[in-house]
Structure 1
Amino acid sequence: MATTSIHPIRVTEAKSIQYIMNPDKAAYVTRYGCWGNAAEISDEFSKLRSMGRNTGSVLSYHIIQSFAPNEATAEQVHQAGLMLCDKLLQGKYQYVLTTHTDKDHIHNHIIFCKTNMENYKTFGTLMDTKRNPAWKKIRQISDGVCKEMGLSVVAYGEIGNGVSHYEWTKQQQGLSWKEKLRYELDCIIQRSNTFEDFLEKCRLNGIEAVYKPEKTISLKFRMQGQQRYARAKTLGYYYLPENIQRRIKQFSSHRKMILDRDKFDNRGLQYWADIQNMKNVAQMINLLESYNIHSTSELKPTTMTVMARRGMITQSIENLDKKINTLSEQIELVRQFQRSKPYHDKYKSLSAWKQKGYAKKNTPVLEMYKSVGSRLKLLYPDGKFPSEAMLDRQRQALYEEREKLYEEYRYLKKEYADLDKVSQTIDDYLEGLRNEPEHKRKKGELE
C-alpha cells in the first residue's frame, strides 16, 4: 500500500532540515524534543548524539511518506505523519515533521536524530536489524495508519526512474498500461511451457508480441488499444527474452499443488484429493493473511504493487552500482596522483640542467602525474582534489545504502513468489471446480 522510504543522513544535516522546513514548500511543521531553526535543531541533535554510545557515520534519518494526488488534505497528511512518528519513534527520538504541498502529491518529510533520548542507544541498534529492518516496520506502520484514517496511499513512490508524470498518476489509479502489461506477461509466463508457447499465449490473450532475435530491438509488446509498442528492455530486466525463458523454466519446475481428482479411479482417492486440495487452498489463504491481504480481490493490485516496487529497487541498485564504479575510478586516480606527486615535486625542486636527466630516468611516473592530474581537473575544476579517505567513506556509504536495498529486494522477491504461488493455486482450484460438473456428466453421475 503506502510507499515510504528511509535513508541515513551522514553529512549536511542542517541543510537537509532547512530544505524540509522551507516555508515555500511546507504547509505544516511539527517539532518534537527540539526547537528553533534548522541550524538550532541540528545543534540539538548533535548535543544528544554526544551523549550516545555509538559514534558511527550516521547523524540522523530521513523518512518520506507520499500520498496520491487529491486523496487527502494537507492537514490529514500531516496527521498521518504524526501518527507514524508516534507509533515508530514512541516519543523517544527528537524529530521534525513537515508536510510539503509544492507538488501534485502531498507528502511528509521526517528527519529524526539517531540517538534515543531515554537510553542514548542508536536507532540502528534498536530498530534497524537485519532480521527486522526499519523500512519494513515503517511500511507496515504507515499502511496501518492510512487504513485507520481511510486514506489511499501512493503505491509507487515519488516520480522517478524514468516514469512520466502522466504514467505515474495513472499508476495511482491502477491504470498504468505498462504495469498492466507487466502483470499480464507475468501471468502468461507462469503458464507457459516454452518460449514459443509464451509467444502463442500472448497472441491468444490479446497481446501482440514481436520477436526478432536478429534485430537490435529483439522483443516488443503491444496490448489491445495501445498505439505504441513497449520494448522488452523498457519493461525491465525480467522481460528480456533470455530472462523470460529462464523464468519459464523455473515455473515449469515447480510442483503443482492442486491435484487432478479425475486421475484417480477410486472414489476414496478422489475424496482424499478433494481434502488435500482444500488444505492447500487454506494454506494459501493463510499465506495471504500473513501479507495483510484479506480477499482475493486485493491479490492482483498488491502483486502489481510489489512487482513495480521491485522494479524500482532494481533500477536504484543499478544506479548505485554506477555511482560506486565512478567513485572506485576516482579513488584509483587519487591513488595514482598521490604516488606520482612526490616525483613531480622532486622534479620541480631541481635546477633546470638536472631536470632533464631526472625526467629521462622517471618518464613513466611523471607522465602518469600529468595524465592523472588532467583527468582530476576535469572532475574538480577548482583544483581541490578530495582525499582517498573521503572518497572511500562516500563509497562505503553507497555500499551500505545498496545493502539496505538488497534486503528490501530479497523480501519483495519472496513476497512476489508467494503471491504468485497463491494466485496459481487458487486459479487451478477454481478451474477444477468449474470442470467438475462436466466430468461428472461424462461419467454418468449427473442426469
Structure 2
Amino acid sequence: MEIDLNKGKTARQSIAARLDYIMNPKKTDGGILVLTYACSPETAADEFMLFRQEYQTNTGRTQNNEVIGYHVRQAFKPDEITPEEANEIGKVLASRMTDDQFAYVVATHIDKHHIHNHIIICSTDLEGQHKYRDVKQSAKDLAQISDSLCREHSLSVIQNPQDKTVTYDKWQGNQRRFTHRDELRMIIDTALRMQPDGFDALMQLLEDAGCRIKRGAQISIKPPEGERYIRLDTLGPEYDEASLRRTLAHDHVHIPKIPRGDFNGSQVKRLIDIEAKLHAGKGKGYQVWAERNNIDAKAQMVIFLKEHQIDSLEELNEQIQELTNQQKELKAALREKQNRMKEINRQRQTIRDYSRTKEVYTQYRESNWSVKFYQEHRQEIEDHKNAQAVYSSLDGKMPTLKELTAEYDSLKEQKENDQAALDKLKPKLTDLKHVRYNYEILERDSAPNSHQHVIPKDHHYDEHGANHDDESR
C-alpha cells in the first residue's frame, strides 16, 4: 500500500504518523518487537527524509503526487508462531523485497488475537539515486516470498474459498465493472482458441457471437448489447489487427488481457454464453476444440519460450536467478565503493579542517583554554577537535591528500563501470521477468474451464481473521 503525502502535512509528518502507529509500544511489547535496516527506530522518519532529500538533490526530480513510502502487512494463523519468530520472518521478507537497497522498519503487533507484521519501506534507495518500483508484479512476488518463508518455518499457508481477500490487482479485477471492452476481449480470446484459419474467419466468429463489424482504415467492433463501436487498436497491443493477424499466422503467441484462471463468477457465466454461441451449428470439429485446447496451449507456451531463445521454463528461471545474483553482486560492490568514497571525502575534509584550524587551536591551548577565546572561535576549535578524533581513530596514520584523491578517482572509475554493467543488465532481467509473467498468464489461461469460480492461490490471515495475501499497494 502506497504512503502518499497527506493534505496539510509535510512529507516527514506523513511518514512519521505511519511509523508512530506501527512502532506503538503498546502493540510491540514496549518496542522490543521492532527491527530496522539502514535507520534507527527513534530517527527513522528523519532518515527517510534524508534519503528523499539526497534523491532530489542527485536527480533534480520532484513529484506532485509523490509516494514517500510503502506499507506492507503480513499476518499469521493464531497460536502458530511466537512474536520473536514473526519479527524475524518480517525482517527477512523486507530484506528480500528490497534487496537491502532501501531503508525499512519492521514492527510485530501482538495486540490482536493473531500476530501480524507491519513493514514500512522508504521509497528512495540508500544512495539517493532510485525510487522503489511497486510494479504490477510486486504483489505476486510479495505473496510468493511470504508463502515461501512460512513454509520454511512450517507455518500455515491456506486458501480462502470465500475469496474475501486477494491481492489488490486481483481484487480490482474482480470488483470493477465488467465493461464492453472486457467482453470484446473475451470474445476475441475465445474465438482465437477455436483456431480460425485466417482474419476473415476470426471476424466471422465474432459475428457469430453477436458482434457487428465495421471495416475501414481501422476495424471497429460493436459487442453484443454494446451501444457503440470499439476500435481494435484501443483494446491493447495484443488485440490490434496486426497482432491478431500475426497470431493467426502462427508468428506470435497471443497473451490474453485476463486469463481464464482469473475470471470471477460473472465472467465465467459470460464465457459460457459466448462459447455456446460459437459452438452453435459449427459441427463436431468445433465441439472437440476444448478437449485439445489445453494441449495446444501447452505447445503455445513452448513456442513462447522459443521465441525468446529459451529452451525450457527451468532455463528461464535459471537465467533470471543468474542475472538476479549478478545484480545483487554489482549492487553490493557499488555500495562498498560508495561507502569508501564517502569515507575518503570525510578524511580529505578532516585534513583540510586540521590544517585550517591548527593555528587557532594552538592559540586556544596557549590561552590556557580561555572561555572567552573559545566563544570567539567556537567553530574553528570544534572543527579541529573533530579532525583530531578522526586522526585518533586511524592511529594517526592518515593518508595524504594526494593518496586519497588517487584512490577516490580510481574508485569513481570502477563505480562507473559497475553502474554501466548494472544498467546493461537491468533491462535484460526485466525482459526475462516479463517473459515469465506472460508465460504464467498463458498457464493460467490454459487451466481447464470447469465453469466454476476459481479459488485463488494461497493467502494469509488478515487483521480481521480472514485469509490475506498482501497489501503492498
Q: Please classify the TM superposition score into its range, dividing by the shorter chain length.
A: 0.3 to 0.5
TM-score, normalised on structure 1?
Answer: 0.37
Task: Name the structure with the higher helix share.
Answer: 1
Q: Greater RCO between the two (CA within 8 Å, min separation 6)?
A: 2
Provide TM-score, normalisation by structure 2: 0.35
